[in-house]
Chains A and B, each alone.
Chain A
Amino acid sequence: GAGVSQSPSNKVTEKGKDVELRCDPISGHTALYWYRQSLGQGLEFLIYFQGNSAPDKSGLPSDRFSAERTGESVSTLTIQRTQQEDSAVYLCASSRTSGGYNTGELFFGEGSRLTVL
């Protein structure tokens, strides 16, 4: 697609429910990142996918968080048993790579705002 697409734009859920957030990267971008941004704060790295390599999950805050990506296509971030502290904007970004390494800047989606009541 023309840009990084994320859905839903806004999600309100009750504490304890599971949520899925979706990211569709720019076509041809093999690298895909998920970040979390709490209100008025900076970006917290969550997870990184590069082609078919094993993802870098070092930023996931707990085992309630997981993400999947099939090949170089759509990625889904799943949060199980949501807590109020999970409320944030979840940003997805993609980037070109060459030989498995980043060659450019990040292109971001508009984010998914999650509110846990």
Chain B
Amino acid sequence: AQTVTQSQPEMSVQEAETVTLSCTYDTSESDYYLFWYKQPPSRQMILVIRQEAYKQQNATENRFSVNFQKAAKSFSLKISDSQLGDAAMYFCAYRLNYGQNFVFGPGTRLSVLP
């Protein structure tokens, strides 16, 4: 069974600095998707970034980028120029391509200090 691990329950970063959130996963498959979701205090989960496993190039979305290491089964999220609005729970998730199940990690709570 696939599992997703986020080893940092809590992280903090100074405003305008850079922070990296870790995620590792376990799978025997080669074709899958990885996601980072953000859940602010308002509760609604929103997609931050996604990565297709067959793509070697790391995904980027403005200040958010990933470091995808397929062989190491690692998928970390880097947030550059952190803003107060980035404070939230961040969940890493895995989905097998053409699969129905999304497997979520336990989450990392990010605090942004002014």
A interface residues with partner B (beta carbon < 8 Å)? 31, 33, 40-43, 45, 48, 50, 56, 89, 91, 93, 101-102, 105-111, 113
A48→B99 CA distance, assembly (Å): 12
A66→B99 CA distance, assembly (Å): 23
Check A110 against B43 for contact (C-beta < 8 Å). Answer: yes
What are 8 A-to-B residue pairs whose CB atoms are below 8 Å?
Answer: A31-B100, A42-B107, A91-B45, A93-B45, A102-B95, A106-B37, A108-B46, A109-B44
Complex interface: chain B residues within 8 A of A91 (CB): 43, 45
The distance from the CB of A11 to the nearest CB of chain B, in whole angstroms, is 14
Complex interface: chain A residues within 8 A of B30 (CB): none
The distance from the CB of B39 to the nearest CB of chain A, in whole angstroms, is 8
The distance from the CB of A102 to the nearest CB of chain B, in whole angstroms, is 6
Q: Select one of A33, A43, A102, A105 contacting B50, CB under 8 A.
A: A105
Check B100 against A48 for contact (C-beta < 8 Å). Answer: yes
Complex interface: chain A residues within 8 A of B109 (CB): 40
Check B106 against A42 for contact (C-beta < 8 Å). Answer: yes
Check A56 against B100 for contact (C-beta < 8 Å). Answer: yes
Complex interface: chain A residues within 8 A of B101 (CB): 45, 48
The distance from the CB of A43 to the nearest CB of chain B, in whole angstroms, is 5
Number of interface residues of B (CB under 8 A): 23
A102→B93 CA distance, assembly (Å): 14
A52→B98 CA distance, assembly (Å): 18
Q: Select one of A93, A102, A110, A113 contacting B99, CB under 8 A.
A: A102
The distance from the CB of B71 to the nearest CB of chain A, in whole angstroms, is 24
A41→B109 CA distance, assembly (Å): 10
Per-residue A-contact encoding for B27-49, CB less than 8 Å = 1, 0 else: 00000010101000011111100
Complex interface: chain B residues within 8 A of A31 (CB): 100
Check B100 against A102 for contact (C-beta < 8 Å). Answer: yes
A33→B101 CA distance, assembly (Å): 9
The answer to whether residues A102 and B45 also contact, given A42-B104, A42-B107, A43-B104 and a CB cut-off of 8 A, is: no
